[in-house]
Structures are given as C-alpha cells and as structure tokens.
Amino acid sequence: MECGLQALIFQSCATLIDMKLKQKITPLTLFIILCLIWPLATFAKESPATPFPLGETSEWMGTYFKGKKLGFSFAKMNVTVTGITINSKVFFRLKSGGVDQSTTFNQVTHLTPDLRLKDFSLVQEILGQRQKVDGHIENGKLVYRVVGLGFDKTKSIAFPPNVAPASTFLLNIVRDGLQVGKKGKFPIFMEAFQMLVDMEYKILRKESFKYEGKAVDTFVIYHQVAGMESTLWVTANGTVMKEMTANGFESRKEPEHIALDLGDEAMTVSSLITFSLVKPGRDIPHPGKKRRMKMKLSKMRSPDLIPQDHRQKVLRSEKSADGTYSSVLLVNSESGEVARPVARPVSGFARPEFLEDTAEVQSKHPLIRTLAKELVGETKDAWKASKQINLWVFSNLKKEMVDSVSALNALRTRKGECQSHTYLFTALARAAGIPTKIVNGLVYSPQFQGFLYHAWPEVYVGEWRALDPTFGQDTVDATHIKLSEGGKEDQLKLMEFVGRVQIELIEN
C-alpha cells in the first residue's frame, strides 16, 4: 500500500480490532498517499527550448488530513548549465498505541537540462526500518539497486527517454506550458516501486489563491496515476501553492517555521480509519463464520476492476448515471481440503515471481530458510505444510499496530499487523517451495461495523487457496473481498478503491 505503494505509497490496511487482532494502513498504501501529496517547487520555461533559470530555490509545504497537521514536505532545486538537482523530503508523524510510527522519505534526483533522468537515490525509513533504492541510466536502461534488511539486489529495466521520475513529473508539465484546457499523458517512473505507470493530467482553470494575505494567480491542474487522483494549484512560474486529494489529504505552501511546527499531539492511526472504512449499511454478525455473501460494490471507475477467482465472481456490472460503475459480487469462503494434494517443492509452476526473493519477502535469507525447514519438517504435502506455517505465524507474531517493511523484520521483532503476518508467511512458504502471492482487499470488522483494508496470502498447492495468518484462518471467511493480488504493480490497483468504493449488502 501496506503505496507498491510503496507502492504507491500509500499498495492498505486500516485499524481492525476484533478478538484482539489489530491491523492498520500499510506502508505501501501510506507511500501511495505520499506520492499524491509530494509537491515540488518548480520554475516555468518561456518556451520548450528555453532552459530553466539558473540558481537554487526551496519550498516548504505543510501536510494535513482533514485539517489536522500530519507532517511536512521540503523540496530544493538547483539548476546549473549541466543539469538539475532536486533534494526532497517527506515526513509524516503518526502514533499508534503510544508507539511513534513516524515515516520519512528522502530523495536526491539528478536530471539533464532537458529533464531526462540521470540518477536518483531514495531512502525510506519507517519505525527505524530502512530501505534504500539507488538508480542510474545506462545504455537506455535504468539500473537500480535495492538494499534493505537481509536484502541487496541489482536489477534493470528498459527506460525510454520520455519517462519522468514520479518525484519531478510536474517539471515536465510546467516546461511544456500551462494553458487552460490543455491535457496530456506520459509515463512516469515510481522510484519506490521501481516500475513504470502512465500519468494523465488536465489544466482545469485559472484561480486566485490567497497566500499570507495576498492573492496569487494559479493554474488548477488535475492529475491521476493508477487510479490515484489529486488536484494542484500551481503559479505561472511553477510554484506549487496547494495539492488536495478527494479523501481529505492536503499539502499547502507554508513558511519553514510553520511547516515544521507539528504541534504537541501526533495524529493517531485510529484517526485515519474514516479514510478507509467502508460502511455496508448494516451489521454482519459473526463475520468469521460467513460462508457466502452477495454484495454490490459501486462508485468504481471501470467495470472490470474486481478480480475473479475460485472464491469470488462478478455476477453483473452496470454503468451509473454519474459515469461510475457498480458490480454485484458473490464471495464464498475458502473450501476445506484441496482436490488433488501435491508435493513440495511444487513443480511445473508457470509463475516464478511467486517464488521470488524480494526486498519485502526475503525467502532466500538463511534465517527464513532455516525456520521454514523447521516448521514443515518432513511434510511433503504442500497444503499441509502451508497450514503448519500459517499456524506458526499466527501463534508467534503479536497482534500490534506496528509496521514491518519486510518478512525478516517481522521475524526479528515478532510483532506487527496484517502486512507483517502476510510478508512473513509468504517468505516462509516460498522458502518451503510453495508458490505464494500477496492479496490485498477488504475484510469486515465488527468493532467498526464496516470493511477495512487488509492483506492476506494465497498459496498454490495444485490449486490456489487463501489463508489468513493474522486471523489464524486456514480457510478465509466470505467477508474477505479480494481487490488486488500479486506484486507491487497489482497492489497499486488497490488505490482504485480506497476512499471511493461503496458496499451494499444483498445477502449476508
């Protein structure tokens, strides 16, 4: 969210307290939100052929959620004859159960004079957990290295010259000229997720903006990335005055001393619950025992957003008068036993990424591999081995609203929320030779009488089976609604739903 997305920062669990089980907004989802409210002070060009004015400038922004100070961002840009350097920082202050859950993102980006990426370095810190991503352009490719706890790997992807870094895309819009009615689309690279996505924008109107008692003329720019939407107020010379999302997040230009003044009280995670809580209209008694549910999901941007599998089917979809779509969804609980047991390591599986060692799921780390071997022992049946791992993770991780950015961190701290449980389960299962994918979606919370965002794993044991190590369920109940699955690219799809989707129960 939990965005990958992270990934987009922000790939999502909100607080869920049920039978003393707790979860919260995941680091991926938090970073996806950060990506939406990460403004950058820029300079306009007189024409596409004119260079940016030489020199250095910096801007401070205060970040708010529904009027309450959440953090700040800072951006400094230095333009020289050889290129552009941007230093940016985002800080969020949050508390959960008295625990400081502050989150910091620092990035240095180097661009050519015509805004092509040279290199970048991004450091993400959450609860003392650190991950660094460094990248540089080499022969038309982006070569990047990801370093985190128990993980150090270098990869590369094709990188066309028209791609803009996510942290600096506004430079491209301003360079090409601000004109009401103008719209465009170009690819951006999300540094935190190491992937390419399309960004669309439209300059809606001109509007007067009041700053420190003075009226400032701005252009209002709407943009969206992978379903994430926000609106910017930008001056003619490219200075961002304000950015807002439809969900109540806002970032606005402030003097440094005001931006840094976060007050005495940190925002609590529970205060963000309303951001993700989806009320179905009536209570669902005993959700953990639900075997079948029919519901209507509405306010979606597309009729084909909801994934379908052996557990959930879209019965019908229709377009509403406001242009959004609704779908009637039938969800069943997972069944008991598999039809044809298979041995582990599972052979002949066509999706190697579900056995992959990643920065979040360190399935090849010696500690993970040793524990996996101890847990499954001589068990050859892949499904039985999965249940043994599921029971251990459920029993050995304390249910606390504490983020873990990786499986290894969850193993070492022995505590965390849904993402911590899911990362650790996934790493152990993959180490045992069982293909496993991470699923994000919604699950019902009796405590809040609504659906909250949640993460759980699915294993391939001759067929896909969903478990929930946070709840200790070998067969997930029917309130588990899958909205995205797979890697970081798929987890970004979750943002098509967060703060937007509505649920109406038909049969429960």
For position 475, which CATH number holds?
3.10.620.30
- The answer on 487 and 391 residing in a single domain is yes
Prediction pTM value: 0.84
Domain annotation covers residue 314: yes
Give a yes or no: residue 9 inside a domain: no
Strand spans (E) along 115-238: 117-126, 129-138, 141-148, 151-158, 164-165, 183-190, 195-211, 214-225, 228-234
Residues 370 and 259 in one domain: no
pLDDT value at residue 245: 85
- Predicted local distance difference test score (pLDDT) of residue 500: 86
Q: Which residue's entry shows tokens 């969800």?
A: 331
Going across the sheet that includes 94-96, the strands are 99-100, 94-96, 267-268
30 lies in a domain?
Answer: no
Which single residue is written with the structure tokens 């849904």?
418
Query: For the residues 389-412, what does the mean pLDDT come to?
Result: 88
CB 205 within 8 A of CB 234: no
- pLDDT for 254 equals 95
Tell me, yes or no, whether 207 and 250 share the same domain.
yes
**Of 268, 297, 313, at which residue does a domain stop?**
268
Residues 256 and 338 placed together within one structural domain of the fold: no
- Per the structure, the count of domains in the chain is 2
- pLDDT at residue 295 above 70? yes
Q: Given this model, what pLDDT does residue 489 score?
A: 67
Domain annotation covers residue 303 = yes
| The predicted structure's pLDDT at residue 68 | 87
Query: Domain check: are 448 and 349 in the same one?
Result: yes
For residue 21, name the pLDDT band (cuts at 50, 70, 90).
Answer: very low
Phi, psi of 22 (to 5 degrees): -130, 145
- As a whole number of angstroms, the distance between CA 209 and CA 481 comes to 42
Compute the distance between CA of residue 408 and CA of residue 372 in angstroms, rounded to an integer: 12
Could you list the beta-strand ranges (E) of 381-501.
Answer: 398-399, 415-416, 436-445, 450-460, 464-466, 481-485
478 and 377 in a common domain: yes
pLDDT of residue 268: 67
Yes or no: say if 332 and 291 are a contact pair by the CB < 8 Å rule.
yes
Percent with pLDDT over 70 in the chain: 85
Least confident range of 35-39, 147-151, 198-202: 35-39
Q: How are beta strands 464-466 and 450-460 bridged, if at all? A: antiparallel
In terms of domains, do 251 and 315 share one? no
C-alpha radius of gyration, the chain, whole number: 23
Same domain, 208 and 329: no
Is 16 a domain residue? no
Neighbours of 121 (CB within 10 A): 16
Question: Is the domain of 316 the same as that of 460?
Answer: yes
| Mean pLDDT value of segment 58-84 | 92
Q: Domain limits at 145?
A: 37-268
Backbone angles phi, psi at 496, to 5 degrees: -70, -20
Q: Report if residue 261 sits inside a domain.
A: yes
Q: What's the whole-number mean pLDDT along residues 414-435?
A: 94
* Arithmetic mean of pLDDT over the chain: 85
| pLDDT tens readout for residues 34-68 | 444 444 544 443 334 334 788 999 999 999 988 88
| Shared-domain flag, residues 92 and 167 | yes
Q: Provide the CA 450 distance to its chain's centre, in angstroms.
A: 21
Q: How far apart are CA 472 and CA 468, in angstroms?
A: 6
Residues 142 and 222 in one domain: yes
Mean pLDDT of 152-166: 93
Residues 6+ apart with CB under 8 A from 374: none
Report the pLDDT value the prediction gives residue 272, as an integer from 0 to 100: 64
DSSP conformation class of 496: G
Q: Which of 208, 212, 190, 209 is CA-nearest to residue 199?
A: 190
CATH assignment of the domain containing 117: 2.50.20
- Residue 97 tokens, joined: 């159960």
**Burial class of residue 251 in the structure, from the number of CB atoms within 10 Å of its CB (0-12 exposed, 13-18 middle, 19+ buried):** buried
State phi, psi for 23 to the nearest 5 degrees.
-150, 170
State the DSSP code for 192. Answer: T
Check whether residue 246 and residue 312 sit in a common domain.
Answer: no
- Band of pLDDT at residue 251, cut at 50, 70 and 90: very high
Indicate if the pLDDT at residue 465 is higher than 90. Answer: yes
Q: What is the pLDDT of residue 99?
A: 67
pLDDT at position 11: 31
Average pLDDT, integer, range 142-164: 93
- Is 277 a member of any domain? no
Tell me the pLDDT tens digit for each residue of 83-138: 999 999 999 887 766 667 788 999 999 999 999 999 999 998 876 778 899 999 99
- Quote the pLDDT of residue 17: 29
**Does the pLDDT at position 332 exceed 80?**
yes
**Higher pLDDT pick, 482 / 5:** 482
Is residue 203 one of the residues assigned to a domain?
yes
Q: Where are the alpha helices (DSSP H) in 101-233?
A: 169-175
- Whether the per-residue pLDDT at 28 is higher than 50: the answer is no
Lowest mean pLDDT among 19-33, 147-161, 366-380, 445-459: 19-33
What's the confidence (pLDDT) of residue 46?
Answer: 38
Question: 61 and 251 in contact (C-beta within 8 Å)?
Answer: yes
Q: How far is Cα 80 from Cα 58, in angstroms, rounded to an integer?
A: 15
Q: What is the pLDDT of residue 110?
A: 97
